[in-house]
Amino acid sequence: MSSSSIESIPTPDHCTADFCLIPIGTGSASVSAQIADVQRLIEKSGLKYVMHSAGTTLEGPWDKVHHVIGQAHTILHQQGVVRIQSDIRSGSRVDKVQSFEDKVAAVNKLLGKE
């Protein structure tokens, strides 16, 4: 496949991505200040999100979701963090739009918690 044909392939309209940024070499075991800065960025992005104890889940257009994750790297690099490792798990589906709340609700329904 030539590079021109690769560039013409669109990305999914909707996705969820769960990601965890791991700043390395900050001199402290605590990364809460850096995570707070990332959360401020996400809030400004307008994407739907939920922060949890081991990362953040984003929801929206593929390009925007992954662009914000890249911006999170950049803001921490600008603060002097030399190395960042990220775990990212992305998913998309084309048969229907399903939010991250919908996915949790489906399991809770099966558990009789609804």
Q: What is the pLDDT of residues 79-102, one digit of tens each?
A: 999 999 999 999 999 998 888 898
User: Can you read off the two tokens belonging to residue 99?
Assistant: 């939010």
Query: pTM here?
Result: 0.87
**Residue 2 within a domain:** no
CATH value at residue 87: 3.30.70.930
Identify whether the C-beta of residue 37 lies closer than 8 Å to the C-beta of residue 76: yes
**1 within a domain of the structure (yes/no):** no
Distance CA 101, CA 66 (A): 20
Residue 52 falls inside a structural domain: yes
pLDDT band at 56 (very low <50, low <70, confident <90, very high): very high
Residue 101 CA, distance from chain mean position? 15
Residue 26 has pLDDT above 80, yes or no: yes
pLDDT of residue 1 exceeding 60: no
What residues contact residue 105 under an 8 Å CB cut-off, 6+ apart? 114
Please give the residue range of the domain that contains residue 46: 12-110
pLDDT band, residue 108 (cuts 50/70/90): very high
Asked whether residue 24 is assigned to any structural domain, the reply reads: yes
Mean pLDDT of 35-55: 96
Q: How many domains does the chain have?
A: 1
DSSP structural state of residue 9: S
